[in-house]
Each structure stands twice: as structure tokens, then as C-alpha cells.
Amino acid sequence: MVYPIIVILLVVIDQMLKYNFWHYLEINGDLVIFPWLNLSLAFNTGAAWSFLADTNFGIYLLSFCSLFCSVALACYFYCFRRQLDAPAKLGLALIIAGSLGNLCDRVYLHKVVDFVDFHLGNWHFPTFNGADSYITLGILLLLLLLLTGRLHLPLLYENKKLTGETDGRNK
């Protein structure tokens, strides 16, 4: 029960950050945190690196993908909640929260609010937000667990309850 609460809290935090930084940066302009990190307001109608930003259907396709991925991961999480350990659950919760955070922006604003500007000299990484960070951290956590052998992701066909398989005693 704790992971749905984590997802909700992370989405609320993401939306609050976006709202507050949007209004602060709109009034005050860019904020330099470190020589390599600024808070700078940007809007993105696409995905990472403005993928699909210049298309009429991009926002709808990305909204559908966000919703589909969130629902699919939530269903997977629910079906295998007993087989997944805490770090795997946290990784999935981070990805779901990030996807839902950006989905909220796409549905209500028809764009995603970005504000973190990481750069080295004149080279700038694409501006991102809290939801993007959640997704990245969730994927990195799952990859780390997978690469260290600490994660075995159950597959649907392995779940006897879902496939109707029996252990042979119920024939």
C-alpha cells in the first residue's frame, strides 16, 4: 500500500515544483544555481530532446504513451507485488510517477513544463523537470538491480495463476 502513496506524493511534488518554478522564473528570469546548473523556464510539446514537438499529433501520441505505460506498469506492479522486492517496487513507482507527472502537463497544459538546465560551457543538456528525473532514476535503479543480479523481473507467462497452469494435482 505504501507504493501507490509514494507515486501520488511524487506526482504532487512534481506538479508543485513545475507550478512554482514556472511562476517564479516567468517573473524573475533564469536562476543560476552553480556555474553548470541553471533553473530556466522551458516548455516542450514533445518528448526528450523535443522529439515529436513539431507535429500536430505529437502531444496526443505522447499522452497516450504516457497513459498506456503508466497503466501497464501499474498492472505489472499489482500482479507481481509479492514477487518484487522493495528496490524493484521503488524503481517501478518512480517510473509510474514520472510518467503521470508529465501526463498531467500534457493533458492540462498541452505541453510539459521544464526548468532544470544542466550545461557545460556552451553545451546544454535538454532542459528537464522532476518527472523526467523520476523516470531516469527509476530506470537506472532497475538496470542496476538487473546488472548486479539482484533483480529477476517475473514475466506474465511465469505466473501460473494468470496462465491457468496447475501443478498437476488439479487434473
How far, in Å, CA of 163 to CA of 28, rounded?
57
Look up 85 and say whether it is catalytic.
no
Look up 167 and say whether it is catalytic.
no
String of DSSP letters for 28-52:
H--EEEETTEEEEEEEESSSGGGTT
Contacting residues for 18 by C-beta, under 8 A, at least 6 apart = 101, 105, 113, 115, 129, 130
**Contact 116/17 with Cβ under 8 angstroms?**
no
Catalytic residue among 14, 105, 114, 117: 114
Catalytic residue among 14, 105, 117, 132: 132
Distance (Å) of CA 94 to CA 58, 62, 75, 87 = 24, 18, 15, 10
**Contact 94/13 with Cβ under 8 angstroms?**
no
Q: Can you read off the three cell numbers belonging to residue 139?
A: 530506470
Task: Return the active site residues.
Answer: 114, 132
